[in-house]
Structure 1
């Protein structure tokens, strides 16, 4: 499972990287010169790479959780994960120092993820609201 996720994560990152030179050229001359089709294609590459990377990182985190918490049944099963109780209480019930370190690591990873991605997603959401006409200020 980890190898498949790592491979797909690498492909997602590659798609993302392929779109960056086009965006850099657009940022440098502030005019899109590659045509309408390429605009849609490069945007699709960017979005597939961006959200694909996030998806596969989350999937690998869930897989690591399954390996740590369910050591004897480390095969990832979606229905078990969906209907199980939350991750942190399960790890806190276990009286192992290794599990407490896993809880701290998960909290740090989730916190860092939200700290770095929340401002970007808020800005995208506000831009969307502005384009729809809900935000009509001259300072935008």
Structure 2
């Protein structure tokens, strides 16, 4: 059965646990060899429960963030606009979880339009969330390393302009997956698919995973790492009030990468398997499967953590909340 996308490799309906790789290509079967491989479909047991929990907590938490920002009129500069858009991006990603919770244990029942909408929203929300975190790190870097220039672009107008550019880039980064979204039928099951069903299937899937590693982790990590290495050096000479002003943004960055790096590693291994760079062994494939399922749950948890970070580390947020 087809997996739903580059970042949803383990959100797949349950099937018989003994399948022939040559029958079709999916997360559990990748046309690697002609021998049957018995898989324990762990996802069907814990992913629906976790996704439902993440949706409830994340939806309420991020709606609270939006309410506090709008009610408190906290949309005055680049950082606050980035936080607002980050909450919107998290809500987009979270909105797909109820559908994926059902899909993790059963066939896709929501039709072709919802398949396109749900996964399209997921991909765009995923990349937008990453890019807004990068924007916040650049904003903090400029405020410390180039304060004069920062005062010129730290305005609400520049924040809105930067946000529009980031949403456009997030949509662009979601291609080519957005081109292939749709429902296919296989063995009486309906599959919400994000890849072409032809001889290029595994090539497109592995390319999408490599793209996620580069655009969704390596480049953002490099930019954030550079920005905060400079920021931390500069902050050594500043007093604590100035340091506290950057604490929330730093915590948001650290939590994001802690949640998503493990999944990116597992996805990279999956891409190597699809490219036949790793040995075509059933046991290895099962280990990668389990890694993807476990790390995917950790990655999705990130979308409901940010509101708690704002409460515990954001002094301005707490003031307006109370």
For 1:110-129, list aligned pairs within 5 A: 112-129=255-272
Contact 2:133 / 2:253 at 8 angstroms: preserved in 1?
Answer: no
Partner secondary structure for residue 274 of structure 2: helix
Aligned residues: 131
Partner secondary structure for residue 131 of structure 2: helix
CA-CA distance at 1:91 after TM superposition:
5.6
**1:60 & 1:89 partners in 2: Cα distance?**
14
Bigger mean CA deviation after superposition, 55-64 or 107-116 = 107-116
Q: 1:92 aligns with which of 223, 233, 247?
A: 233
CA-CA distance at 1:56 after TM superposition:
0.4
User: Does residue 44 of structure 1 match 2:115?
Assistant: no
CA-CA distance at 1:89 after TM superposition:
4.9
For 1:14-93, list aligned pairs within 5 A: 14-29=91-106, 31-74=107-150, 75-76=152-153, 87=227, 88-89=229-230, 92=233
The structure with more helix, counted as a fraction of residues: 1
Partner secondary structure for residue 259 of structure 2: helix
Contact 1:5 / 1:56 at 8 angstroms: preserved in 2?
Answer: yes
- Ranges in structure 1 where 5+ consecutive residues have no aligned partner: 78-85
Contact 2:141 / 2:230 at 8 angstroms: preserved in 1?
Answer: no
Partner secondary structure for residue 96 of structure 1: coil
**1:90 & 1:61 partners in 2: Cα distance?**
9
**2:277 & 2:111 partners in 1: Cα distance?**
30
Bigger mean CA deviation after superposition, 105-114 or 33-42 = 105-114
Partner secondary structure for residue 88 of structure 2: helix
CA-CA distance at 1:63 after TM superposition:
0.7
Normalising by structure 2, we get a TM-score of: 0.34
Q: Which has the higher contact order (CA 8 A, sep 6+)?
A: 2
**1:101 & 1:27 partners in 2: Cα distance?**
44
Match of residue 82 from structure 1: none
The structure with more strand, counted as a fraction of residues: 2
Cα distance change of structure 1 residues 132 and 39 upon mapping to structure 2, 3 Å threshold? farther
Give the aligned CA root-mean-square deviation in angstroms.
3.4
Match of residue 138 from structure 1: 282
CA-CA distance at 1:118 after TM superposition:
1.4
